[in-house]
Every structure is written in C-alpha cells, then in structure tokens.
Structure 1
C-alpha cells in the first residue's frame, strides 16, 4: 500500500495541488482521504469507496456520479 500511496502523492505533486486542497475541492474530509490512500480504510463501500474511485484506486461503477478524478 505504501507504493500506491507514493504514486498517488507523486500525481498530486505533478498537478501542483495538495491532497488537502483536492479533498476540500471534492467535498471530502482530508483525514478520510489520507486514510484511504494509506490503506487505513478498506474503501469497500460508502465514502471510502467514493474517495478510492475519485483517486483512481478503484474503477468507476456503472451507476456512479461524476466525481472529479485526479489523473
């Protein structure tokens, strides 16, 4: 999970935004986003799952809304 977290952090750095800024812009609690990135939250359902989809960790479900993703 640490490797995945490093990749995600590198994407944010390349975009020039912080994880906190992205979290707030997308209506997520920054602590929850960090917990998903570091694997403290499994992201199987609920807000954790929505964050994982928005981060690109999980695939977008067919019935999902258009949450802003970081590429």
Structure 2
C-alpha cells in the first residue's frame, strides 16, 4: 500500500533530481551507505519512511523534512 503521508509530487521531484545529476537510485544508495532496495521503496511509495533507513533515505532525497542523527 503506497504511503499517503509523502505526496507523489515529492517522490517525482526526487526521481527527477537523481536524473538531473545522472545518478541512479543504486548509486545514490551506495554514496550514502543505504540499501538500494530501501531507496527504491522510498521512491516508489512502498515505504512509510517513518523510521530507520527509510526515514534517512527520504530525508537525504529531500522527500521529507527530518533529522538524521549519526
């Protein structure tokens, strides 16, 4: 079930941002130490992005406002 908290427009803008940089979701994941499956799930709306790695991916992609603690 797609996440309704983060709108499709934000996800689309994140995908376009990756495309503009010539970066794949897999490359983005590798650069930020994320699992590529998590990044794909965030971009497709399959993840709620509430906590953990999905939250981190959403914040780094600019889909969601949030704090990432190291």
Q: TM-score range by the shorter chain?
A: 0.7 to 0.9
Extract unaligned runs of 5+ from structure 2: 1-6
Extract unaligned runs of 5+ from structure 1: 66-71
- Alpha-carbon distance in 1 for matches of 2:8, 2:43: 9
Query: Distance between the aligned counterparts of 1:16 and 1:42, measured in 2?
Result: 26
Residues paired across the two proteins, number: 64
Instruction: Choose from 60, 65, 69 the match for 1:64.
Output: 69
Quote the offset at 1:7 in angstroms.
1.8
Per the normalisation by structure 1, the TM-score is 0.74
RMSD: 1.7
Which of 58, 61, 67 matches 1:52?
58
Q: What residue is the counterpart of 1:68 in the other structure?
A: none
Structure 1 residue 2 displacement after superposition = 4.2
What TM-score, normalized by structure 2, do the two folds share?
0.75
